[in-house]
Structure 1
């Protein structure tokens, strides 16, 4: 396994380590503290499968100690059995932020600095804003700093740069900005209303994601089940083969509908879509 990496969930820290296959393992003590288990060892023994439990020496305040780590399936087992309200938010953070980022980029970086090349689009947007509205660069950058709560554009996370560029473009198009600084962000362009709420659309996206997980897992276990003589094995593989295109179409439909949802739910829905598409890929 690789070096331990600390991830931050709300006010808590979760120590993790990636194995040689790139799969993430979570320190059981940290997970149990978030989920409200008073006895981590007992919680792991009662709820986790032994195959997904591993010990490794980890540096602590008391020196190196043998600590228990659990894999992703065992993490979900602890989440499901938890009665703490934070469990749902923790699951959402893992499934919609941490794991998709790792699978897309190969790592989950916290506070990683961007390069000058990364910020080219933002600088160009600022130049257009200054030229179009007749304000100075200091005022333009001050609005960005205030909007993203940073002291310099170098402190804007890489995944927030597209949002920063879009914000500056919105300022450029805002008719009320002429040689002055906005006291608030421009109002978004009105979108046609959905017949359902943004929250209901998000629930639908989550259901599609879980369905994609179930269908993909059925495909993964169909071969060994067939060897064991399971009559449903062929059907499990067939369901996956015939459903992949529909899952992709569902992801595309959700992406189109998310444009009409409120910003918060639209962002949450879009974060799920790469995972659905990945699960439906060959």
Structure 2
């Protein structure tokens, strides 16, 4: 089967039942993981999310002959990329969707922008989570951003909004079971604290500069007042 190219990376897919599949090694390469086992680890942590149409064990032809290995369909690749934390994960998801559209003979659809009604379930879930998780809105939203590899909620698709709601609900379940990912939360809180500190230092610097300017203006005003008095005195003396 012909190769595929993602961001100058050449991938050699297998074709099973007339569908495109990628091995975990090829998928790791596309997602820019140094460790080829990273994809396998992601799958093992989230195996219950995958169906048999998304991943399977198959005989794949390699340089060393036929070998059994795990492969992922395009939909399986997309789900792996949902859990991935690399910088290219978001672009890879779009690339996979583009190929899926071409595979079924449909044009690439541009996702409509989310409306306020579309994001309401997520906003409600986050609001509920603030009380249960004892975290502020910004921290919970940042956890959602990291989970889906986005910078803003509006970058989610409608389907992903539903997945984001499930993710927030799972966080609330985890805290009740004492299994929440505390290192992740600690990292987010530390990052928020660092950003706040940077902003505070910037504001303090601006205040310092403003004080210097005010002192200069006061000094200039004093000099002008003295000059006005001197001019007035000279006018009285020499002009009358």
The reply to whether TM is greater than 0.5 is no
Structure number, greater radius of gyration: 2
TM-score category, normalised to shorter length: 0.3 to 0.5
Decide which structure has greater helix share: 2
